[in-house]
A and B are shown apart, each in its own frame.
Chain A
Amino acid sequence: MRNVWIVANRELASYFATPVAVVFIVIFLALQGALTFNLGNFFDRNQADMGPFFNFLPWVFLLLIPALTMRLWAEERRLGTIELLLTLPITQGQAVVGKFLAAWAFCAIALALTFPFVVTVNYLGRPDNGVIATGYAGGLLVAGAFLSIGSALSAATKNQVIAFVLGVAVCFVFAVASYPLVTDFLAKSSPALAEIVRRLSVAERFQGFTRGVVSLRDLIYFASFIGFWLFLNTVIVEHRKAD
């Protein structure tokens, strides 16, 4: 556990040692603000809630999180530091989890910096802050799910551009799996599969959280989703580290 912590600390510090942290946070806040206020009609709706904010959150994550994860392993391989990291007395699992937790903590920081939205809503009306809290919790879980995908794909290649494009593509698949575009198509060809795919959708699970509903089933879903991708990540690192 201590080793996970050490790896996570180093990784998190490296975000702030480079412009990555500032650029990511500024773009995230700008994009999230623009979408919520303009496209989401935050004020015109005359409702004291953060519905528009949470509706756009997964899509902003979809674009930005692969940008955060693309370097996680691809960069280590390009610099050759993977050879150093994995010959220190830590296991590959510890390295994988440490890097993931650092990226997740970073997303939590970015998310926490959206607090002016909460302040605004509370100033203008009397929102249900419980719903806002579960919305944030759900947002963090969506970020974790996308991060685990991106991290695993980053381990598969030395090229950061490939890691980014693959990351966006795979995250997109899991984001839209519950949308009519996909479900209607699958319902015609194989109804059984349509139901399974709908249940695998990250966006579908997130909906519950934005309505203030936290079910054990959804928590288990996110835990196993992240667990699965991190396991895959470890396997990929093991097999491809020396290529």
Chain B
Amino acid sequence: MTALIEIDGLTKRFGAFTAVDSVSFTVARGEVLGFLGPNGAGKSTTMRMLAGFMTPSAGTARICGHDVQRESLAARRCLGFLPEGAPTYPDMTVEGFLRFVASVRGYRGGEAADRVAHAIGLTTLGGVRLQPVETLSKGFKRRVGLAQSMLHDPPVLVLDEPTDGLDPNQKHEVRRLIERMAPEKAILISTHILEEVDAVCSRAIIVSRGRIVADGTPAELQKMNPSGRLDDVFRDLTAARTEAA
């Protein structure tokens, strides 16, 4: 197993506030790592640093062996990133937006068209191909964001809340999509929906107040509370820390 995502001592401070406190983990090919934690625990900040959008206060992150700060472009070529809230340009059509991403990713002509068609197929966006993104519902917008992240078939996927705002059927679709891609990729997904961990993740990390408080397979995490329920484990770990502080 080779680690495609390597995070080592990653820290982000905003003034006196430490949003991410020396977080370290790796994700290997074939792994789907669930990144759990209450709102404001530092999940998005960690992902932003991993994507090279935020500069860490300390620590390093590597994607496919490329340091995200020093070899930023090489790292970004290996990465498919869905930012929080799945932002897209509202006045562009779904296809126009994906064509733009394809050309930035270096595809031209027929190959670009194939890539766009493939991404539209994977995320079942065919019916709204020519609609401006701003006219779409939340679930469709999220899928446009997903299509953008997997368009170039990257070895590493970092998805910030990929199923947020989707209805149960769409959630199921996205999870199946992630499962299908899982064997060849290293995937990091953040979520606060705990059922998702059981459904798609091979491993999960729980963060609270910027620190990792648990790391293991879903089965291992469930054993941490006598009830055997992930909800209880999550509450034990994250609520206790909030009160203690």
Contact = CB atoms under 8 A, between A and B. Distances in A.
Interface stretch (B26-34, B82-90, B188-196): B82-90
Interface string B51-69: 1111100000000000000
A46 interface: no
B79 A18 contact: no
Contacts of B103: 6
A34 interface: no
A91 B100 contact: no
A90 B88 contact: no
Interface string A56-92: 0000000000000000000000011101101111110
A17 interface: yes
A83 B96 CA distance: 19
A84 B77 CA distance: 13
A14 B83 contact: no
Interface string B74-102: 00110101011101111110001000110
B53 A241 contact: yes
Nearest to B89: A81
B76 A88 contact: yes
A14 B104 contact: no
B48 A83 contact: yes
A7 B103 CA distance: 10
Closest 4 CB pairs of A and B: A80-B87, A83-B83, A17-B91, A87-B51
A220 interface: no
Interface band, chain B:
20 to 34
Given A83-B53, A90-B104, 9 more contacts: A10-B92, A13-B92, A17-B92, A81-B87, A81-B88, A83-B83, A84-B88, A89-B73, A90-B73
Interface residues of A, number: 21
Contact of B83 (A6, A7, A80, A89): A80
Interface of A: 3, 6-7, 10, 13-14, 17-18, 79-81, 83-84, 86-91, 241-242
B148 interface: yes
B53 A242 contact: yes
Contacts of B132: 17
25 contacts: A6-B100, A10-B89, A10-B92, A13-B96, A17-B92, A18-B91, A79-B89, A79-B90, A80-B84, A81-B87, A83-B53, A83-B84, A83-B87, A84-B148, A86-B53, A87-B52, A87-B79, A87-B81, A88-B101, A88-B105, A89-B104, A91-B73, A242-B48, A242-B53, A242-B54
Contacts of A17: 91-92, 132
Contacts of B84: 80, 83
Nearest to B87: A80
B147 to A, nearest CB: 12
Interface string B157-193: 0000000000000000000000000000000000000
Nearest to B85: A80
A10 B100 contact: yes
Contacts of A90: 73, 104
B107 to A, nearest CB: 11
Nearest to A91: B73
Nearest to B108: A2
Nearest to A243: B14
Interface in B12-52: 48, 51-52
Interface in B83-137: 83-85, 87-92, 96, 100-101, 103-106, 132
